[in-house]
């Protein structure tokens, strides 16, 4: 069997090293299924346009389906002797159907074929990423629902700032992953045009019905310029951008999980099933999964930079450089999917240490703003109130006391405006639950947001 699709004008065999360097079969076999689905649509259209007979169509489609099933079951092994998955499938088809199979590639080039395969593959993967993000959001939402009164400090500059709740903190990530899903949906919508029929770069002389193949393959329509069709990799760059953003979000979340899981914080405890030990230090229980998610973010960013650089300065239309899109994209997709999945399991199984969070929110003067607001409500101008509470904080630090622990005499030492109701005004419950504007952590505000987020998940 001829291993190459293009031996005719050559007088020598390809050098072995050249074959290996040039070949893509080791990685493009990943989309054998999409390659065959594309061929089935192509042949269906060829018969409709009477370029092939119905009988030829049926013979080819039956053989292609067999090939697909056999590869899936492992009965047919993809051989690395072929240059790429397109050559392999065509060779297997010809082996089984002889002269008829040789007609499959009528009116098609590997350039539009690979452009199609990659789009079909990407579409499937976008759907999978979206489903994984949805699972993650479901877990985040269930943690939020159980923790609308789990008080914790909110941070700026990694310094305690104001108290809020775990539900509110996780709600921030809910919004991020929601945007990630909408970014994926945008990309899907923009890329969903079919390049099949663009040929090598200039279309074909056959009366192909490109709208027909586009429809058969679930595209919104055919692409409108044959040169662009075979050399557009924008959607992959966009996808790598979106995956990078997902990873950036996971990485920020991981960093917080790592910090919260430390002995110093003890806000959470990762499950044993999601932790690892040390070969020398028996006491260790390390958050390797969160660290790896954080670490792998660099790898996905790298793929984005790499493809942008590969595409830079490439003249129209197809150039072999573009083959480099595949390994990068496959790796970035697999990495991101793996990270979302593991991260979801990790937060689903971790224990939340509510008392440690509340204790931390109580120490560190997270209620200082509310104490100043108390004075404002009693007629003190805000700037003066800020100064008074600043003095109380300093006093508290020197005497190792939280604002809640100061006696009324100590308060009055600094300002006579304070009365017994100061304690109620600066309690964690008051600080959090009086913040009820849209998007704030108060339990009423959170209730509304939780309903909206739940509705969003039901809808999408
Ligand atoms: N393996 C190639 C790629 O991924 C397929 C297209 C080959 N086309 C060509 N003109 N050599 O880009």
**What proportion of the chain, given as a percentage, has pLDDT over 70?**
100
Which 3 state secondary structure label does DSSP give 153? strand
Predicted complex ipTM: 0.97
The span from the CA of 253 to the CA of 346, in Å, is 11
Among 166, 204, 195, 184, residue whose Cα is nearest residue 245: 184
What's the pLDDT at 284?
87
What is the residue with the minimal CA distance to atom 4 of ligand 1?
323
**Token couple for 91:** 């060779």
State the virtual CA torsion across 205, 209, 210, 212 in degrees, nearest 10. -160
Annotated catalytic residue 169:
no
Annotated catalytic residue 157:
yes
What's the pLDDT at 397?
96
Q: How far is the centre of ligand 1, averaged over its atoms, from the C-alpha of 10 (Å)?
A: 18
What's the pLDDT at 9?
87
> For a substitution probing ligand 1, which of 26, 321, 323, 329 has the most ligand atoms within 8 Å of its CB?
323
Which 3 state secondary structure label does DSSP give 105? coil
The span from the CA of 324 to the CA of 268, in Å, is 42
Q: How far is the centre of ligand 1, averaged over its atoms, from the C-alpha of 323 (Å)?
A: 6
The span from the CA of 267 to the CA of 357, in Å, is 5
Residue 423 CB contacts under 8 Å (≥ 6 apart), including other chains: 404
What is the residue with the minimal CA distance to atom 10 of ligand 1?
111
The span from the CA of 183 to the CA of 331, in Å, is 20
Q: Does residue 376 contact residue 391 with C-beta atoms inside 8 Å?
A: no
Cis bond upstream, residue 112 (ω within 30)? no
Structural domains in the chain plus CATH codes: 16-106 (1.10.275.10), 111-148+164-206+219-354 (1.20.200.10), 364-453 (1.10.40.30)
Q: Specify the ligand 1 atom closest to the Cα of 320.
A: 12
Q: At what angle do helices 443-459 and 110-146 cross, to 10 degrees?
A: 150
Q: Specify the ligand 1 atom closest to the Cα of 24.
A: 1
Cis bond upstream, residue 317 (ω within 30)? yes
For residue range 181-235, list pLDDT tens digits in order. Answer: 999 999 999 999 999 999 999 999 999 999 999 999 999 999 999 999 999 999 9
What's the pLDDT at 7?
82
Give the residues surrounding ligand 1 with Cβ less than 6 Å away: 24, 28, 84, 110-111, 114, 318, 320, 322-323, 326
What's the pLDDT at 2?
65
What is the residue with the minimal CA distance to atom 3 of ligand 1?
323
pLDDT in single tens digits along all 460 residues of the chain: 567 888 888 988 889 999 999 999 999 999 999 999 999 999 999 999 999 999 999 999 999 999 999 999 999 999 999 999 999 999 999 999 999 999 999 999 999 999 999 999 999 999 999 999 999 999 999 999 999 999 999 999 999 999 999 999 999 999 999 999 999 999 999 999 999 999 999 999 999 999 999 999 999 999 999 999 999 999 999 999 999 999 999 999 999 999 999 999 999 999 999 999 988 888 888 999 999 999 999 999 999 999 999 999 999 999 999 999 999 999 999 999 999 999 999 999 999 999 999 999 998 999 999 999 999 999 999 999 999 999 999 999 999 999 999 999 999 999 999 999 999 999 999 999 999 999 999 999 999 999 999 999 999 9
What is the residue with the minimal CA distance to atom 2 of ligand 1?
323
> For a substitution probing ligand 1, which of 320, 322, 327, 330 has the most ligand atoms within 8 Å of its CB?
320
């Amino acid at each position: 069997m001829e291993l190459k699709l293009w031996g005719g004008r050559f007088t020598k065999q390809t050098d072995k090293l050249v074959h290996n360097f040039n070949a893509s079969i080791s990685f493009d076999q990943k989309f054998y299924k999409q390659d065959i689905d594309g061929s089935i649509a192509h042949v269906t259209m060829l018969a409709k346009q009477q370029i092939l007979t119905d009988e030829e169509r049926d013979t080819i489609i039956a053989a292609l389906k067999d090939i697909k099933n056999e590869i899936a079951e492992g009965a047919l092994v993809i051989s690395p002797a072929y240059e790429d998955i397109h050559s392999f499938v065509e060779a297997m088809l010809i082996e089984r159907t002889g002269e008829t199979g040789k007609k499959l590639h009528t009116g098609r080039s590997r350039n539009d074929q690979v452009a199609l395969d990659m789009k079909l593959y990407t579409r499937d993967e976008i759907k999978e990423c979206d489903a994984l993000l949805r699972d993650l959001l479901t877990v985040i939402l269930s943690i939020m629902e159980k923790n609308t009164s789990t008080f914790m400090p909110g941070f700026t500059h990694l310094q305690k700032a104001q108290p809020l709740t775990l539900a509110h903190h996780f709600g921030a990530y809910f919004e991020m992953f929601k945007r990630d899903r909408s970014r994926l949906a945008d990309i899907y919508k923009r890329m969903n045009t079919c390049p099949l029929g663009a040929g090598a770069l200039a279309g074909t002389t056959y009366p192909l019905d490109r709208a027909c193949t586009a429809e058969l393959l679930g595209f919104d329509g055919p692409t409108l310029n044959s040169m662009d069709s075979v050399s557009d990799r924008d959607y992959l760059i966009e996808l790598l951008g979106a995956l990078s953003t997902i990873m950036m979000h996971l990485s920020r979340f991981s960093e917080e999980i790592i910090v919260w899981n430390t002995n110093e914080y003890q806000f959470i405890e990762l499950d044993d099933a999601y932790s690892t030990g040390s070969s020398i230090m028996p006491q260790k229980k390390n958050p390797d999964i969160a660290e790896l998610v954080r670490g792998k973010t660099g790898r996905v960013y790298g793929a984005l930079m790499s493809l942008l650089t590969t595409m830079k300065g490439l003249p129209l239309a197809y150039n072999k450089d573009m083959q480099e899109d595949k390994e990068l994209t496959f790796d970035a997709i697999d990495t991101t999917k793996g990270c979302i999945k593991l991260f979801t399991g990790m937060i689903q199984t971790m224990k939340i240490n509510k008392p440690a969070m509340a204790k931390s929110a109580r120490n560190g003067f997270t209620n200082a703003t509310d104490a100043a607001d108390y004075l404002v409500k009693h007629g003190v101008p805000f700037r003066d109130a800020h100064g008074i509470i600043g003095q109380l904080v300093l006093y508290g630090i020197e005497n190792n006391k939280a604002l809640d622990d100061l006696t009324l005499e100590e308060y009055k030492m600094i300002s006579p405006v304070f009365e017994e109701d100061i304690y109620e005004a600066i309690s964690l419950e008051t600080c959090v639950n009086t913040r009820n504007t849209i998007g704030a952590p108060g339990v009423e505000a959170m209730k509304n947001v939780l309903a909206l987020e739940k509705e969003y998940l039901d809808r999408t």
